A and B are shown apart, each in its own frame.
Chain A
Amino acid sequence: MTRFVTAEEFDEVTREGFWIADFMTDHCGPCKMLDMVLSEIIYDNPEINLAKCDIEKSPAFTERFDIQGTPTVLLMLDGEIKKSFSGGRGRDELEEMISEAMYG
């Protein structure tokens, strides 16, 4: 599942299951490239959920998660942050991180 998430609903939405929280903006080139990689992973692995978090529409994200730049990504299992990174990544590297965060 992919959905746009605001700061107010973030905890409720990501409380259960595996979520990739993608903190992005509309006009960030690396965010668009990462989104393309993420959309392939989400499509091929439907048990993974994607929360698109626009930090300009919901500025509260920036302070709460200390976001220094976009894209910033959190990998979350049942509401717990397992891993985070900033900047783009290729599919293989991302899948390795997701595998570790999901299944330990």
Chain B
Amino acid sequence: MNTKFPYEGRIDFDKYLDAYLQRDDAIRAMPTEAELKELARKAIVREQMVLAPLPEGEAAQVGDTAALKTVSELPKFNKERVTVTLGRGLYNRDLENALVGRRVGDSVSLTVQEKPVTAAILELKRKQTPEPTDEMVEALQAKDMDNQPIRTVAAYEAYVREEKTTEVLATVNYEVMEKILEDYPMTEYDEEDIRILGELEAEAFTRIFLEKDGIDLRQGVPKEWEEDWNVHSLADFIAMRHDWYQMKIQQCLTFLNILGLPCEGKTDPLDHYEVLSELQDKMFDKIRTELERRNAR
């Protein structure tokens, strides 16, 4: 690659990751195996959930569904019948928590936005869920990221593990890299590099469309491309992507610098089309290691 990276050895990735981890909304750890299993279980059994009325006299728990009659000057809390899940906070967390431990027929009074609110419990129901089975997974008609049907509980758990893990790593990577790319901008790109990236993309897209949809982009582009982007040929499309190729070069060179890898052979973006996604996978590995290292302290 002819484009030069002007910040060789100057990016302190740890500093940016630490700054991100200080944020209130930061994801600080990878999901645990128990969390992933629970996520899969919820998704599998969600269609089999049954809400059963609580036996007479039994007190409400967090997660129970309550039908309430509410009285207040506030319209939101002045309803003949409103259904809420206790303790989840979608209606009003203070009111929901005050109802935990109460029974059908009980009332609670509290102040919301400086106005009195009274809520009487008309009905209480509790969720009943069966254990997940392969039949339930079949009924979900779910497909994995390769669009293959998921048929067993174990396969669904593996799908959730991959999905959720990728989501976490992609989020952290995006948030950290956004700041780094902002602080280390690039302005000079070699046009020959950009031309080669365009050629690689044209080859890749031609192959993918031919294999997946039977469309030969060399003969013409899909109608949606003409409507959405006003491009009438593959060459038009590649020309339109000029700025993206600049961004791709910046991302690749920045990733290589952070990872301490040379821009040559299989890691040179001009070698093959998938270099950016391969480098991104390596960044994901680095982030996973860094999160685990920090959490082990």
Contacts and interface: CB of A to CB of B under 8 A. Distances in A.
Interface in B50-104: 51, 63, 65, 75-76, 82-85, 88-91
B90 A95 contact: yes
A46 B47 contact: no
Contact of A36 (B84, B91, B125, B160): B160
Contacts of B49: 1, 43, 46
A59 interface: no
A30 B55 CA distance: 42
Contacts of B46: 2, 39, 42-43, 50
A2 B65 contact: no
A44 B75 contact: no
A3 B47 contact: yes
Contacts of A27: 143, 147
A32 B163 contact: yes
A102 B84 CA distance: 10
**Which of B43, B51, B88, B90 neighbours the largest number of chain A CB atoms within 10 Å of its CB?**
B90
A8 to B, nearest CB: 19
B164 interface: yes
A98 interface: yes
Nearest to A47: B83
Range for the number of chain A residues in contact with chain B = 20 to 34
B144 to A, nearest CB: 8
**Which of B46, B75, B167 neighbours the largest number of chain A CB atoms within 10 Å of its CB?**
B46
A33 interface: yes
**Which of A45, A98, A102 neighbours the largest number of chain B CB atoms within 10 Å of its CB?**
A45
B141 A103 contact: no
A99 B90 CA distance: 5
A45 B47 contact: no
A45 B88 contact: yes
B145 interface: yes
B25 to A, nearest CB: 8
A39 B76 contact: no
A46 B85 contact: yes
Interface string A12-48: 0000000000000011010011011001101111110
Contacts of B90: 45, 95, 98-99, 102-103
Interface string A38-73: 011011111100100000000000000000000000
Contacts of A104: 75-76
A29 B51 CA distance: 32
A85 interface: no
B42 A40 contact: yes
A26 B143 contact: yes
A36 to B, nearest CB: 6
Contacts of A47: 65, 83-85
Interface of B: 39, 42-43, 45-47, 49, 51, 63, 65, 75-76, 82-85, 88-91, 125, 127, 141, 143, 145, 147, 160, 163-164, 167
Ranked 8 nearest A-B pairs via Cβ: A43-B42, A39-B43, A99-B90, A47-B83, A45-B85, A27-B147, A2-B47, A43-B46
